[in-house]
Each structure stands twice: as C-alpha cells, then as structure tokens.
Structure 1
Amino acid sequence: MTQSSAAPVSAFLRHHYRHFNAAALIDASDAYVRHLDQGGKMMVTLAGAMSTAELGLSLAEMIRQDKVHAITCTGANLEEDIYNLVAHDHYERVPNYRDLTPEQEQGLLERHFNRVTDTCIPEAEAIRRIEKAILDEWTAADQKGERYFPHEFMYRILLSGKLEQYYQIDPKNSWMLAAAQKNLPIIVPGWEDSTTGNIFASHVIDGNIKNVHTVRSGIEYMMYLAEHYTEVTKTASLGFFQIGGGIAGDFPICVVPMLHQDLQRTEVPLWGYFCQISDSTTSYGSYSGAVPNEKITWGKLGIETPKYIIESDASIVAPLVFALVLGW
C-alpha cells in the first residue's frame, strides 16, 4: 500500500514503524481498513480517560467518515467529552503530577478541580453545567413516565442546542457530538460508576426524580446490544477495536457467547476482527492482560479471526491507528 505526500502522518508511520509494537500498529490498522473494505462494521470500546485525553480530535472524524459504527465506553468517557466541549478553557494541566504532595492535591480539591493524571477538570464550569441541562431532561422524562439510556439523555442535551453557548472547542472535535448527529449506537456498562451517575442517584435520593428506572440499566444495555449485534451481523461482520481494558471491553465482547450459549442463536457469527491497545502486562488471571487467543476458549473469537494486540499507551497509539485508517 503506497501513501502520497498528501498523507504525511501515514507516510511517516509506514516508513518508520517496521518492527515490534510499531509493526503491530501498522498490521492492525491495515486489517481494520480491510475489514471495512470487505463490508464489515466496527465497534470501538473506550476505557480509561480517553475523552479527557481529547481522543475526539481523531475519533470524531472516524465517526463522521463511517469508520466507527458503534461505541462501548465507560460513563466517564461519555460525560468527559462533553465536559471538554463546554469547559476546555478552564482546565488546568499539571505536568509534574507525579511530584504532587498530598497538600497540593488538597489545594486542587479546594479550588474545585478533579485531577485525571496531568489534567484537572473544573467542577463548576464542566460538571455543574452538564448537571443543569441533564437534570431538565431527567425530570421531563420522569414526569412523562419515559425511560432512556444514559447516552440518549446526553444526545438530547447536545442536539437541543442548550449547551452551544458554552462551547470552548471547535465542535467538530467532540466525538459525542459527532455520535449524536449520527445517532450512533452507544453502550455504557456501569454508567452508575460515573459523575453523572452519582448525580442521578443523588436526585433520586432527594426525591427530585421519582423513578430510579428513568435511566435504563446495564442489563437493558446488554439486551439492546444482543439485538443490535444479531441484526447487524445478518448482513455484515462486526469487528472489535478495544482501547484499554476493563468493563468497556469485557461487557460488549461477551454478547457473542451469550447469544450462542444462553439464547441458542448459534447462527450468529463471532466477532470478525479484534484489536486491543493495552499497556497491561500479559499475565495469568487478568482480562486486560490476556492474549487474544484466550478469547477463543470463551466463544468470542475464532481461529480465523484477525487478532492484534498493541502493547503501548493508548493515548499515543489510538490517534495513530485512526490516522492510518483515515489516510492522514
């Protein structure tokens, strides 16, 4: 595959990334493109704090160009992309975060900053702006007896335009906004373990929200994913591009063995492509550190499934893979 001078990032990678994890990055990217070229679809899973790492700079364009067809992410990644959208100018970076004393950490707390590695999220400008907008949606749905998934509530506040006055980045760099405009399927397992989830729980406790089921649950997400996977794979192979580990990856990949073993839908195909970016040490008993072949025994991948693992920092690797897929 040749690259023109109009794609300088891809040309650089193809010239220099020839061995070891660098070569795995190229191989996985090329297989991603082949999967799409053959009519396949792709799910991307986001663990960690990739939204705070501003993955939207590349992921949003992947969504717009139909290189991503579904996303599974943690509740934190769902909300933190929108935090960045509305409060970017108020963030603070702490390059020497490894050297902070407990007293300095307390100082950040007293200034209402929540630290994610070297990046401090401003509570008032980010979290509370979202709270007002989403509380209105929760309350309206609660009063009408309606129920929506966490990502659907986020889509509603984004598409309503309520937050536009607060935008502090170019909106084309928000992957959540791109997803909302595409109505992209999003799965958010464990949403309760997020700032927005905590806020929802507090409003139920206070009685502002009467029905705790106004926000649909993780079990319902699995049921939704089962039907979505079954329908999509009637006409296309669905691939799995995993960024990090944890629940964002483990939850959705399990849908295939569930369909086969628990629902007896044995005609449903296995995942058609698999790649994981992980800095977890390969080890016994670790999901994030398991090699892809282990997933064969769980009925998730097959012998012929293209399988890749790139052992590196996802904040470095994921944008490079996306650059190759996009032809940048």
Structure 2
Amino acid sequence: MNMNRGPISQFIEKNYRHFNAAALLDAAKGYETHLAEGGKMMITLAGAMSTAELGISLAEMIRQDKVAIISCTGANLEEDIMNLVAHTHYKRVPNYRDLSPQEEWDLLEEGFNRVTDTCIPEEEAFRRIQRHIHKIWKDAEDKGERYFPHEYMYKLLLSGVMKDTYEIPVEHSWMIAAAEKNLPIVVPGWEDSTMGNIFASYVIKGELKASTMKSGIEYMAWLADWYRENSGGKGIGFFQIGGGIAGDFPICVVPMLYQDLEMHDVPFWSYFCQISDSTTSYGSYSGAVPNEKITWGKLDIHTPKFIVESDATIVAPLIFAWILKQ
C-alpha cells in the first residue's frame, strides 16, 4: 500500500481491482502519468455536473494546476454560480422517481426547476445572477466591447458584487477557482442555457446586440490557437465527463487543424478518458468507444485510452481524489 496517499486513494488501490472499478484506477493513474511527464489536461463537463456539486473536488484540481483548460455547457458554467448564491434555497427530492405530473406542476408553481433529485430555485438562483450580469453585458456593449460567455461570468465573480450572498464555502465553487486563475474555458452552444435564453430575450427586446456576446465559431478559432501553443512536448490530454457538445466540440479542433487547415504537424490528443453511461449501439457519439475517434483523426493508435462506464457523480470525485493524493 502506498502510504504517501490519503485514505481515499488507499481504499481505491485496495478495492478497485476489476471491471469499471479497475478502469477508474487505470484512468486515474494514466492522468497522473500524463501530468508527471509534462502534459496538460482538458476536462469537459456535460450534464448537470455543477448542480451535482462537482465543484467540491474540481475546484481543488484547478487550484493545484491539475487542469489546464475546461470545456463545459452553458448550464455547467452558470449552475456552479447558482449553487454559490442560492444553495440554501435548493430543494432535494429523493423520491423523484415517484412524482406524479401534478406534483411536478406543483414544483413549477413554487418556482422550482427539477434536475433529477435536485430542484433549482428560479427566483433566488436565476434572477439573483440576472440583475448583475445584465449590467456587465450592458456596460460592455456601451463601450463597444465584446467578450466570451465565461469572461462575463469571470467579471461578475471577480467584481465581488455577489460576495455577501454566497451560501457555500468559496473553496467549493469551481468557477471561483477558475476565475482566480483566469483558467481558459470554452463554452460551446452557450445559447442553450438559462443565461443564454435570458441574453436572447434582451436581444429580442432590442436592449442588447447579439454581437456583444462572442460566438461558438470564435471559441473554436480561439481554441485552435490555444491548442497549437500548448500541444508541444507531452501534449494535451482529454478527460471527458459525460458526452454531448462539451466533449464533441473541443475534440474536433485536432482534425480541423489537420484536415481543414492542412497543418500536418498538429499532434493528436495524447490521453483520453471518458466517464459515460451512454450505449454504443444507439449511434450516439457520446457512447462511441475511444477507438472510433481514431477514424476521425482525433486520437492516435498509441494514445492511452480509458472508458469508465458508470455514473460521473461517483467516478469523477474518486479519480480527482486519486490525482490529489487524498
């Protein structure tokens, strides 16, 4: 037993020997090796990982420089901040499988939007952020400035205007950890989020211009530059939590550079792990096994590849605990 590791890592090492448990440990060791050899890592966040409070472990990964860049959905970008300012107003519904349509309607009437067993309080979460972020959007537009979605969120957090309303320890917020490090983030499809919908409503009302928000195409162009600048040496690894656009969008930067821009010196992603419960045979990209990505020019034959077919809310904190030697 490796005694320079904490009790969680020792437990994993002792018990996680087969099947998805072994895949979890192999992936964690591969991540660790990748960093030890000078590599960088992208983490992609799909689903409702922020509402699942992944920030408790992810924020520490950011603080300890175990992640170089994040790709996430608009929902994950905002839901970490919602939890930060409205945590005590959230409602847990452990028996969510038993709810009738009427009970679901009653939750809506009470101002709760449900994500599995957790209800987000609309008034406290969305509206509390909306007041402040609208001012930041408007100020930028008045100055003729344009920013990415995550840059506006960083401005909001770093301004400290919501500090008095924080309801969780700040060290549990991955967005605060990211803002303090100015961690690069890409947020593909940001329009598909509550704040994206709110921004669209201002555009429809003629209060803001769509161009005040930088777009997904601009995110891809930015990522292309970042990838080329950072992929030397050991290269950049890809740690994908769930599926969806958070993973699909950034992984494509490699074939785009190679095939579309004809830059033939671009290295493949140099580590790949996905935590997924998606089923391969349904034709979903989220469920595709890593080898399929070889045919798309994303991964090399020799890229270390791992897939943990399990629940990311269980698996990701354990892998992070291993990497942090907890």
TM-score over 0.5 for the pair: yes
1:217 to 194, 215, 218: 215
**In structure 1, what is the equivalent of residue 253 of structure 2?**
255
Q: Distance in 2 between matches of 1:258 and 1:49?
A: 28
Q: Distance in 1 between matches of 2:193 and 2:211?
A: 17
2:323 to 319, 322, 325: 325
SS of equivalent residue, structure 2 residue 197: helix
Does the CA-based 8 Å contact 2:34-2:234 persist in structure 1?
no
Deviation, 1:207, is 1.9
**In structure 2, what is the equivalent of residue 287 of structure 1?**
285
**In structure 1, what is the equivalent of residue 305 of structure 2?**
307
Q: Distance in 2 between matches of 1:186 and 1:286?
A: 25
**In structure 2, what is the equivalent of residue 158 of structure 1?**
157
How many aligned positions are there?
A: 326
Which amino acid is the alignment partner of residue 10 of structure 1? S
Provide runs of 4+ in structure 1 moved above 3 Å.
Answer: none
Deviation, 1:235, is 4.6
Q: Give the RMSD, CA atoms, in angstroms.
A: 0.9
1:129-181 deviation per Cα after TM superposition (whole angstroms, max 9, x unaligned): 11011000000011111000000000000000011011000001000000000
Does the CA-based 8 Å contact 1:5-1:11 persist in structure 2?
no
Q: Distance in 1 between matches of 2:75 and 2:284?
A: 22
**In structure 2, what is the equivalent of residue 101 of structure 1?**
100
SS of equivalent residue, structure 1 residue 76: helix
Q: Distance in 2 between matches of 1:281 and 1:296?
A: 19
The correspondence of residues 1-328 of structure 1 with structure 2, limited to 5 A, is 2-4=1-3, 7-209=6-208, 211-283=209-281, 285-328=283-326
SS of equivalent residue, structure 1 residue 274: strand
1:212-237 deviation per Cα after TM superposition (whole angstroms, max 9, x unaligned): 11010011101011010011113551
Q: Distance in 2 between matches of 1:6 and 1:197?
A: 42
> What TM-score do the two structures reach when normalised by structure 2?
0.99
SS of equivalent residue, structure 1 residue 264: coil
> What TM-score do the two structures reach when normalised by structure 1?
0.98
SS of equivalent residue, structure 1 residue 258: helix
Deviation, 1:282, is 2.3
Deviation, 1:271, is 0.2
Q: Distance in 1 between matches of 2:294 and 2:109?
A: 49
Deviation, 1:265, is 1.2
Q: Distance in 1 between matches of 2:195 and 2:308?
A: 32
Stretches of structure 2 that go unaligned for 5 or more consecutive residues are none
Q: Distance in 1 between matches of 2:174 and 2:225?
A: 24
Deviation, 1:204, is 1.1
Which amino acid is the alignment partner of residue 147 of structure 1? R
SS of equivalent residue, structure 1 residue 283: helix
